[in-house]
């Protein structure tokens, strides 16, 4: 990868073998956007691509010049009100009431590697050769605000990361009202916008619509990234598919309020902005203080959605997730929640764990209900010490009993919340987010602790650290079961209340950082009523997340398919649960529940003692299969082949790095009669390798499987099948394709 600055034309070119990003310094000192797309040759001058013509009703920067209007120029970090009427990347309220800014180029530096963002999660490098970073310094001559724009281009894939840092070098405080991490002006609107949206238990469904003049946006103002809209968006050309065509993906490495927006003007220029949601955001920047925006990641693909996703997967798996578990296959676990809910004893838990160990499970997880006075969701949150009536030996004793079985032990926490019926709340009623003189809203009978306050985070850390230090804990499930309301901190003055949402998330990151540093070999899994905070910011601390509280295999097809647009398979928490399912009451075959859950971290959300001997035998086979292939399933190259949003069948696959093994998952929701023949064209195989297919008893060259296809006809004709278990609704198959011996 290279970053070149051509002094004679004031042009920057960031590029690698796949991708080019070109910008320049405009006449007024602002940065202009020239090109973003497939790699092109470098040369000294691209400035002729900055198109300027007189337009009716435009306002112009210079007297006598009817061409230079910011309203009709593509820019890098635009401001509002100085001839540009579109939504800005930055808005700063000054002490005289003005909101006009004028950030002019001062200098730049080019360096190898990638700097850290203080207090924030971000992608990283392990050597200077992996990436190059351009830092551009701009300054407002009136306010003396210094603006540093960071651009990092990675050597692998078409990846560009962006963020902004503001430093007040003036003589008066200012208020940041808008501070986007990325702004990009594109020359046309010929794109389909794709987003991942839904609600509790149906997160990250794919929604498509064409761009048109006006504004299209997704956001969250809930204090977390939300079930409703994931902080990720794709622009694809209308003809683009999973395997062909031009695609741009935008992802925000942040877990709080955000907005991702496309504004198409009436001349069909498209402005993309990604950053902290400007509503309810007001950061007071005192003299000498700085503010760093979170990181935005953009990925370009000239070869369809799968290539874009694979680039995100590799980046987020290897250069966003960190630590001991980053590269390790995940342990197969059994969680007790849907097996017992709050109704358990220590002996009952050991009984469930013993059966799980017999089946080959490696990790037993105790979910909600182990602490304080917790026997329902009305009490106990905030009191992170064991309930000795349920657990006479405490967490320390239970964890040792589980380890004595030959298993690891995991524990559930919800550290950001408190019940009013708790010792913590009775001691510190002012520690929750609450507006003076207003009623306090609750969710699930709980209230949000004010994590913008260091003393609150310190208190929770001490309780969690004590449990972890005194017990044998290998895994933490970190939950967050409600959105933020009445966002007001008793610890901040009135002119800083607009900082609370962001300071809250910084407190969450701080607690995660302290715990993962103190206990580096503990595997953290994030959860927020399932998938309400499944975002890149949390992935930096917890390499996997509970994808959804809905564990139904059929619903999970859409959830996991949509999630894979951005997030690696190793990050997707996926379990086999009981049938009928507790969320939708659907009965699905045990093998289908496993066949979906394989493409994730894999585990069981049930009491295995409740299964028949025949089912237990099947579970043992499932666990043996996952242990054999989990490294491939979690870290192989993932391809989407057939979408659950477009038909009755879903197909996806993983391919090993050496391309000698591939695993294909085939799923059919509803049965039919006398169905057409069906086949699916595979991806990512070696065209010259012969693969054996035990499912069909055949062998195939890779080029045949990719061009002719894998036969998936299920053979139902209306006659009674010999083995009825393999027919009917909600069926699935796993095809394991291996390079045949020569």
Residues tagged active-site: 479, 549
CA distances, 688 to each of 110, 562, 694, 710 (Å): 43, 32, 19, 16
Are the CB atoms for 407 and 353 separated by under 8 Å? Answer: yes
Determine the Cα–Cα distance for residues 63 and 53; give it in Å rounded to an integer. Answer: 15
Start-to-end C-alpha separation, the chain = 40
Of 107, 106, 125, the closest CA to residue 116 belongs to 125
CA distances, 708 to each of 101, 398, 687, 734, 738 (Å): 59, 55, 12, 19, 18
Determine the Cα–Cα distance for residues 705 and 687; give it in Å rounded to an integer. Answer: 8
CA 67-70-76 angle, to 5 degrees, is: 130
Query: Cis peptide leading into 580, omega within 30 of 0?
Result: yes
Instruction: For residue 383, give the 3-state DSSP assignment.
Output: coil
Query: Cis peptide leading into 527, omega within 30 of 0?
Result: no
Determine the Cα–Cα distance for residues 295 and 586; give it in Å rounded to an integer. Answer: 41
Residue 637 has phi, psi (to 5 degrees) of: -85, 120
Of 429, 438, 444, 480, the closest CA to residue 256 belongs to 480
| Residue 734: strand pairing partners | 665
Residue with the two structure tokens 């369809």: 304
Strands 544-546 and 523-526: parallel
Strands 572-573 and 544-546: parallel
Instruction: For residue 545, give the 3-state DSSP assignment.
Output: strand
Query: What token pair was written down for 723?
Result: 């083995």
């Amino acid at each position: 990868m290279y970053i070149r600055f051509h002094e004679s034309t004031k042009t920057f070119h960031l590029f690698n073998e796949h991708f080019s990003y070109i910008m320049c310094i405009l006449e007024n000192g602002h940065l202009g956007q020239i090109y973003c797309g497939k790699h092109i040759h470098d040369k000294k001058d691209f400035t002729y691509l900055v198109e300027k013509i007189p337009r009716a009703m435009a306002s112009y920067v210079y007297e006598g010049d009817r061409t230079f209007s910011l309203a009709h120029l593509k820019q890098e970090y635009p401001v509002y009100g100085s001839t540009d009427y579109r939504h800005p990347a930055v808005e700063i309220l000054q002490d005289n009431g003005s909101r006009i800014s004028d950030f002019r180029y001062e200098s730049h530096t080019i360096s190898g590697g990638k700097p850290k963002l203080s207090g924030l999660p971000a992608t990283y490098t392990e050597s200077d050769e992996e990436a190059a970073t351009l830092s551009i310094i701009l300054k407002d001559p009136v306010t003396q605000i210094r603006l540093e724009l960071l651009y990092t281009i990675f050597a692998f894939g078409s990846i560009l990361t962006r963020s902004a840092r503001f430093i007040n070098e003036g003589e008066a405080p200012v208020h940041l009202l808008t501070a986007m991490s990325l702004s990009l002006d594109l020359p046309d609107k010929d794109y389909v916008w794709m987003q991942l949206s839904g609600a509790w238990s149906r997160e990250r469904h794919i929604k498509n619509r064409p761009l048109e003049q006006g504004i299209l946006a997704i956001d969250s103002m809930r204090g977390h990234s939300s079930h409703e809209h994931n902080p990720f968006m794709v622009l694809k050309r209308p003809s683009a598919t999973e395997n062909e065509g031009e695609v741009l993906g935008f992802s925000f490495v942040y877990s709080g309020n955000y907005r991702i927006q496309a504004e198409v003007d009436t001349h069909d220029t498209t402005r993309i902005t990604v950053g902290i949601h400007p509503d309810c955001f007001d950061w007071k920047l005192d003299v000498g203080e700085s503010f760093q925006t979170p990181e935005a990641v953009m990925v370009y693909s000239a070869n369809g959605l799968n290539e874009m996703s694979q680039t995100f997967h590799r980046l987020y798996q290897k250069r966003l997730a960190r630590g001991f578990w980053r590269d390790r296959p995940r342990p197969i676990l059994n969680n007790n929640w849907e097996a017992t809910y709050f109704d358990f004893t220590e002996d009952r838990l050991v009984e469930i764990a013993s059966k799980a160990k017999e089946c080959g499970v490696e990790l037993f997880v105790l979910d909600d209900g182990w602490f304080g006075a917790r026997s329902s969701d009305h009490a106990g949150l905030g009191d992170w010490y064991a309930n000795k009536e349920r657990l006479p030996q405490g967490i320390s004793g239970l964890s040792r009993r589980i380890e004595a079985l030959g298993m690891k032990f995991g524990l559930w926490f919800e550290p950001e919340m408190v019940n009013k019926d708790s010792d913590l709340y009775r001691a510190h009623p002012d520690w929750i987010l609450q507006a003076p003189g207003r009623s306090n809203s609750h969710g699930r009978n709980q209230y949000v602790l004010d994590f913008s306050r260091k003393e609150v985070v310190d208190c929770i850390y001490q309780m969690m650290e004590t449990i972890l230090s005194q017990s044998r804990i290998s895994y933490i499930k970190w939950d967050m079961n409600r959105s933020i309301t009445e966002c007001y901190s008793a610890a901040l003055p009135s002119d800083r209340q607009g900082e609370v949402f962001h300071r809250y998330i910084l407190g969450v990151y701080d607690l995660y950082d302290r715990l993962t540093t103190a206990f580096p070999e503990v595997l953290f899994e994030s959860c927020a009523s399932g998938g309400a905070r499944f975002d890149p910011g949390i992935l930096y601390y917890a390499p996997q997340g509970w994808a959804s509280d809905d564990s139904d295999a059929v619903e999970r097809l859409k959830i996991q398919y949509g999630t894979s647009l951005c997030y690696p398979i190793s990050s997707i928490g996926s379990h086999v649960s009981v049938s009928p399912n507790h969320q939708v009451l659907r009965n699905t075959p045990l093998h289908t529940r496993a066949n979906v859950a394989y493409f994730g971290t894999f585990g069981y959300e049930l009491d295995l003692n409740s299964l028949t001997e025949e089912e237990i035998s099947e579970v043992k086979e499932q666990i043996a299969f996952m242990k054999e292939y989990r490294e491939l399933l979690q870290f192989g190259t993932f391809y989407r082949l057939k979408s659950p949003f477009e038909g009755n069948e879903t197909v996806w696959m993983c391919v090993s790095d050496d391309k000698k093994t591939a695993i294909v998952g085939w799923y059919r929701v509803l049965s039919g009669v006398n169905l057409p023949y069906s086949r699916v064209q595979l991806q990512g195989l070696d065209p010259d390798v012969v693969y054996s297919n035990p499912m069909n008893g055949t062998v195939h060259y890779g080029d045949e499987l990719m061009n002719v296809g894998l036969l998936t006809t299920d053979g139902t004709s209306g006659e009674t099948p010999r083995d009825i278990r393999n027919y009917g609704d909600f069926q699935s198959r796993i095809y394991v394709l291996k390079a045949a011996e020569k």
